[in-house]
Chain A
Amino acid sequence: MAIIEVDNLVKRYGDTTAVNGVSFAVEEGEIFGILGPNGAGKTTTVECVEGLRSPDSGTIRVGGLDPRRDEDKLRDLLGVQLQESQLPEKLQVGEAMELFSSFYREPADWRKLIESLHLTDKVGTQFRRLSGGQKQRLSIALALIGNPKLAVLDELTTGLDPQARRDAWDLIEDIRARGVTIVLVTHFMEEAERLCDRLAVIDAGRVVAIDSPAGLVSAVDDRQRIRFRPSAPIDHALLTALPEVTAVERAGSQLVVTGTGDLLLAVTTTLARNKVVAADLRVEQTSLDDAFVALTGRKIDN
Chain B
Amino acid sequence: MSALSRLTLTETKLFFREPLAVFFMLAFPPILLIIFGAIPSFREADPDIGGQRVIDLYVPIVVAMALAMTALSGLPQMLASYREQGVLRRMRTTPVKPGWMLGAQLLLCTAASVAVMLVLQAIGRVAFDVSLPRQAAAYLLGYLLSALSMLTLGLLIASLAPSGKGASSIGTLLFFPVMFFAGLWAPRDTMPEVLRRISDFTPLGAGVQSLQDATAGHWPQLLHLAVMAGWIIVAGGLAARYFRWE
Contact = CB atoms under 8 A, between A and B. Distances in A.
Contact of A87 (B90, B92, B94, B95): B90
B82 interface: yes
A86 B86 CA distance: 6
Contacts of B2: 102
Main secondary structure of the interface of B (DSSP, over half): helix
A99 interface: yes
- How extensive is the interface on chain B, given as a class? 20 to 34
Nearest to A91: B14
Given A95-B10, A99-B10, A87 B87 contact: yes
Contacts of B13: 95
Contacts, number: 61
Interface stretch (A76-84, A111-119, A269-277): A76-84
Nearest to A99: B10
A280 interface: no
Interface residues of A, number: 25
B90 A105 contact: no
Task: Tell me which of B14, B18, B90, B93 has the highest count of chain A C-beta atoms within 10 A of its own C-beta.
Answer: B93
Given A75-B94, A86-B87, A103-B91, 9 more contacts: A75-B93, A78-B93, A80-B93, A86-B85, A88-B14, A91-B10, A100-B94, A102-B2, A105-B95
21 contacts: A50-B93, A78-B93, A85-B86, A85-B87, A86-B87, A86-B90, A87-B87, A87-B90, A88-B82, A90-B14, A90-B17, A91-B10, A98-B10, A99-B10, A100-B94, A102-B3, A102-B6, A103-B3, A104-B94, A104-B95, A142-B90
Interface of A: 50, 52, 72, 75-76, 78, 80, 82, 84-88, 90-91, 95, 98-100, 102-105, 142, 146
